[in-house]
A and B are shown apart, each in its own frame.
Chain A
Amino acid sequence: MTATSDREQMAYVSAQAADARINVELDTGDMTLNIGPQHPATHGTLRIAARLDGEQVIAAEPIMGYMHRGYEKLCEVRTYPQCTTLINRIDWLGSFANEVPFILAAERLMGVEAPPRAQWIRTILFELSRIANLSLFLGDMGVQVGALTPVFFAFRDRERVLNQIEEVTGGRFHPNFDRIGGLKDDIPKGWVDETRSVMVKMRTFCDEMEDLLVGNEIFQARCRGVGVIPADMALGYGLSGANLRASGIDWDLRRDANPGLAWDQIDWRVWTHPDGDSFARYWVRLQETREATRMVDQLLDGIPSGPIMAKVPRIIKVPAGEAYISTENPLGEMGYYVVSKGDLGPFRVKIRTPSFNNISVVPWVMKGVYVPDVITILGSLYFILGDIDR
């Protein structure tokens, strides 16, 4: 090379030096990549410390506690009705569904049973919060793989469901509507017909998601065969909900351990998928959302008449005892182990949240995957931060 100027000479020399550095110094050592705590895929503040070898993840360790609010401790110093305020904020996308198992556990200890009408309306609101929760997932999963349209559809249509919940309970996100012995209030006039038309719209939304994502080649390429969780691993980690059913295990607490709600009185089915990959998890949730709209339709047809509140004392004291009740929440098995000592409030509450177990599989499932797959797996495992940290 002929140096035409000092400047070019300099460039030449530094380029040669860089080459030498690459050959000598640039080894393929591991690198730590922090995903989150403020990453959109983390739905809040979950941090994943991933150790990378090139593009491949060697080890991934979720680091949480950014949102730990100590609900188990706080429940010990509150009365039973006050606890539901906290419990609403565990899985904030399906709040009403959180309240139900806790109230059912308290009812079991008290020997109180809510009247049939209350149980039916509970079931309807439960399924509505499932639709509201899962529809956001259905759109959000598109964002994880780079498709922006579905999430706008999801926010648009979820609002309709939230409106229906708000009309009954007064709260979009935190209804705080379930009471020991029944419900706070009855459903308003005209609500049944409105909800029915919303369910038609939600089925259209599910069809749109099916067209936009399930049949989409890019989506399939990103999700098929990614993050496969075999059935025995899913059981051992205590995965629940759609994550378990996507691994081919036919288990749904609504059908198999119904704690008294109206699920056994309607006709519906449990969806499973044999693959156990990210695609299967998406597919199962899509079918579940659609199934839930059909369930709401049937439930709306058969609301029994009668009171919405059983006779309970004004000051609620729960007799001594222990009860564990779990229900099939939008995210999976949500359970409360309530220990009572005959006081106004619980002695100890163990909150078994689905996301905590669902996300505990991350270190195992992320071993050996590539960086873009981390996001797909996180997205498809679907967690709510409040549900992990409590």
Chain B
Amino acid sequence: MGDQPTPEETLPADEDRENLLTELSESLGEILVDSYLRPHEDLWLRVRVDNWHDAVRTAKDAGFAYFGFLSAIDWNIAPEGRYENTEFDAGLIEEDEEPVELDASTGYAGGDTRFQLLMQLHSLDRQLGVILKADLGEDLTVDTIRDLFPGADWHERETHEMFGIVFQGHPTLQPLYLPTEFEGHPLRKDFPLLARQVKPWPGVVDIEEIPEHLEAQLEAEVMAAFEAEGGEA
């Protein structure tokens, strides 16, 4: 991705994960859409959403019995940005700072749709984790995996209320955190963060501005301490 140094060049081959990838690609077959491996870090597998249940079952049969988490990603860029384009922070941008260019890609192992399912499983025998992803279609519907991992029950409920994803076959898709009458799906990127809209965010810069009358004095003190330390900090 981008101009990052490719980890393959610097690190020795990660045989465990490579073997795992070969094994899972064989057993998943056509269900597997794409995969991505970062040696000694993690393995990402993107599977077809229609076969989500089969894919998770395959992973479970391959020894991934520990349920980590299930969630989703909304790949849209938030229309309000990060609430930093207000008048308030316009004057605070440093002169030498280049404007941030957002990476347009949709993460490791790619993605074609706005919403992507995200799930982490762990195998205690191999001591490896695997991250499963699936692109969700327009109807935002996917089969529940409650029968395979009972722990997915609450994670699916949370993903349902936060992203509006429907898990078919889940008996109680009631809100977990939000009030029953709450409207909207807060973790979607187009859901506005009201607190930021009524009041500018004072934390745009990490370091507070020093009052003018103190600035010269402080700078002298800092420089004196810096030289006493003997050069580069």
Report which A residues bind B (CB closer than 8 A): 64-65, 68, 70, 72-74, 76-79, 81-82, 108, 111, 232-233, 235-239, 249, 251, 256-257, 315, 317, 319-324, 326, 333, 335, 337, 339-345, 348, 350, 352, 356-357, 360-361, 364, 389
Q: Contacting A108 at CB < 8 Å: which of B41, B82, B103, B107?
A: B41
Min CB gap A141→B, angstroms: 24
B59-88 interface bits toward A, Cβ cutoff 8 Å, 1 = contact, 0 = none: 000000111110101100010001100000
Min CB gap B202→A, angstroms: 11
The answer to whether B150 touches A364 (Cβ under 8 A) is: yes
Tell me the bound Cα distance from A319 to B105 in angstroms.
Answer: 12
B21 at the interface (CB under 8 A from A): no
Asked whether A342 and B131 contact (CB < 8 A) given A81-B206, A238-B66, A360-B151, the answer is no
Tell me the bound Cα distance from A352 to B176 in angstroms.
Answer: 16
Asked whether A76 and B82 contact (CB < 8 A) given A320-B1, A344-B100, the answer is yes
Report which B residues bind A (CB closer than 8 A): 1-2, 4-5, 41-42, 44, 65-69, 71, 73-74, 78, 82-83, 94, 97, 100-103, 105, 107-108, 118, 120, 124, 127, 129, 131, 148-151, 153-154, 162, 175-179, 186-187, 191, 193, 196, 201, 203, 206
The answer to whether B201 touches A352 (Cβ under 8 A) is: no
The answer to whether B102 touches A389 (Cβ under 8 A) is: no
Asked whether A237 and B67 contact (CB < 8 A) given A257-B127, A324-B42, the answer is yes
Known: A235-B65, A321-B1. 18 other contacts (CB 8 A): A65-B175, A65-B176, A65-B177, A68-B178, A76-B78, A77-B201, A111-B4, A236-B67, A236-B150, A237-B151, A321-B4, A322-B107, A323-B41, A337-B69, A345-B82, A350-B69, A350-B118, A360-B154
| Chain B contact residues: helix, strand, loop or mixed | loop
Tell me the bound Cα distance from A73 to B154 in angstroms.
Answer: 19
Closest 8 CB pairs of A and B: A320-B103, A65-B177, A238-B67, A237-B151, A238-B151, A68-B177, A352-B69, A341-B103
Min CB gap B94→A, angstroms: 7
The answer to whether A64 touches B177 (Cβ under 8 A) is: yes
Asked whether A320 and B2 contact (CB < 8 A) given A76-B82, A342-B100, the answer is yes
The answer to whether A337 touches B71 (Cβ under 8 A) is: yes
